Amino acid sequence: MNSQTKLTAQALGEIADRTLAYYNQHADDFFAGTRDHDVSQNMAALLQFIEGASPFTLLDFGCGPGRDLKVFRGQGHIAVGLEGAARFAEMARSHSGCEVWQQDFLALELPASHFDGVFANAALFHVPGQALPRVLSELHATLKPKGVLFSSNPRGNNDEGWNRDRYGAYHDLTSWRRYMTAAGFVELMHFYRPPGLPIEQQPWLASVWRKG
């Protein structure tokens, strides 16, 4: 699907429901397949730019089963998870011991100026391009002044659509910058993952942004 295709409210709701149903159905397999993934580079990229003294108050946006929440908590931070899939939210609470909010990405209720950092690892690409400006503005609002947002998304040619009952939007760097700067963020850095490979073998675009 072209990212310019206009989606109805009903279509947006169906996208969220179908994607969350996929994750609820495959939650155990997903946890087993991702629990040993090393995203320490991504976590360090977020933390290095947060100003002030640790511990930080962090939102793990799309926390899944809680792998990274547990690490943030182990580092001494006050980590809160946000997850749309009920099974993942339950698993994240049990695995990490952290507070986890079950919220649909397209129906967020976030406190204003609350978090030092937002960690959106492999999450924001599930937001259709049409809804992304609103979601990013809500993440901007929940950050404290000069707060930091990290995102990592599979990159592409600015198209979006279904992949095994999961909806994804695949932006290139230029498109992602446009969305982020329009939402009031200032770029701090970007890189491609996994590290140490030629760029054609690095499907993930990671970037770090400060609340402007």
Determine whether 9 is exposed, middle or buried from the number of CB atoms within 10 Å of its CB (0-12, 13-18, 19+).
exposed
Cβ-based neighbours of 124, under 8 Å, separated by 6 or more: 61, 62, 132, 135, 136, 151, 153
Residue 2 located in a structural domain: no
Residue 164 located in a structural domain: yes
Residue 3 located in a structural domain: no
- In 10 A of CB 28, how many CB atoms? 11
Residue with tokens 């690892």: 121
**Per-residue pLDDT reduced to its tens digit, 130-152:** 999 999 999 999 999 999 999 99
Query: How many separate domains does the chain show?
Result: 1
For the chain, list residues with pLDDT below 70. 1-4
**Per-residue pLDDT reduced to its tens digit, 161-182:** 999 899 999 999 999 999 999 9
Residue 59: CATH number of its domain: 3.40.50.150
Q: Residue 182 has which token pair?
A: 């329009």
- In 10 A of CB 196, how many CB atoms? 7
Residue 30 located in a structural domain: yes
Residue 35 located in a structural domain: yes
Residue 1 located in a structural domain: no
Task: Output the DSSP codes for 48-65.
Answer: TT--SSSS-EEEEET-TT
**Which structural domain range is residue 188 located in?**
9-211
Note the pTM of the prediction, 2 decimals: 0.96
Residue 4 located in a structural domain: no
pLDDT at 1: 56
Alpha carbon distances (Å) from 113 to 30, 47, 81, 124? 32, 18, 16, 20
Residue 124 located in a structural domain: yes
